[in-house]
Amino acid sequence: MRINNVNMRINNVDMRINNVDVRINNVDMRINNVDMRINSVDVSINSVDDFVHVRINNVDVRINNVDMRINNVDMRINNVDVSINSVDDFVDVRINSLDNFVDMIINSVDMRINSVNMRINSVDMRINIVGDFIDMRINSGDMRIMASISGSTTSI
């Protein structure tokens, strides 16, 4: 891959953010028993033959008892002015909320993920580029995802 003569110019960037009020109360996040194992990772990139060989063996990811609670999130953004000016081309992005304010209230978000078990065994991925031909092979892939997800959202 060759990228030549990349030129990007951004001049006169003016960004103003006034009266930002962010309140986050009673955030409770618990992560217990995280077990992640990666064995025998082989990544080889050969530019002579344009051959990419990736091997991932015995990836075991276990996440148990994830409990995330966000209560009483109050976010207010007032008077946001964003302007981007270039030399010849003019790009003007303005977001104004002079009297009106953006009010975002999230109450009692409860997210629970219990007993997520993900196993990837003997994944063999080969990308062979010969001329304009792409050969992509995935051999012996065993992927198991067992999840129990329960969530409730109120007052959004």
Q: What is the 3-state secondary structure (H, E, C) of 32-44?
A: EEEEEEEEEEEEE
Q: What is the CA radius of gyration of the chain?
A: 25
Chain position carrying tokens 């051959």: 51
Top-confidence range, 8-17, 59-68, 85-94, 134-143: 59-68
pLDDT exceeds cutoff 50 at 42 = yes
- Provide the H-helix boundaries in 16-83: none
31's CB contacts (< 8 A; 6+ apart) are: 63, 65, 66
- Asked if the model's pLDDT at residue 55 lies above 50, the reply is yes
Report, as an integer, the average pLDDT of 78-84.
56
Percentages helix, strand, coil for the chain (3-state, rounded to 5) are 0, 75, 25
Q: What is the rounded CA–CA span in Å between residue 66 and residue 87? A: 50
- Tell me the pTM: 0.24
Average pLDDT over the chain reads 57
Which of 20-24, 122-126, 149-153 has the least mean pLDDT? 149-153
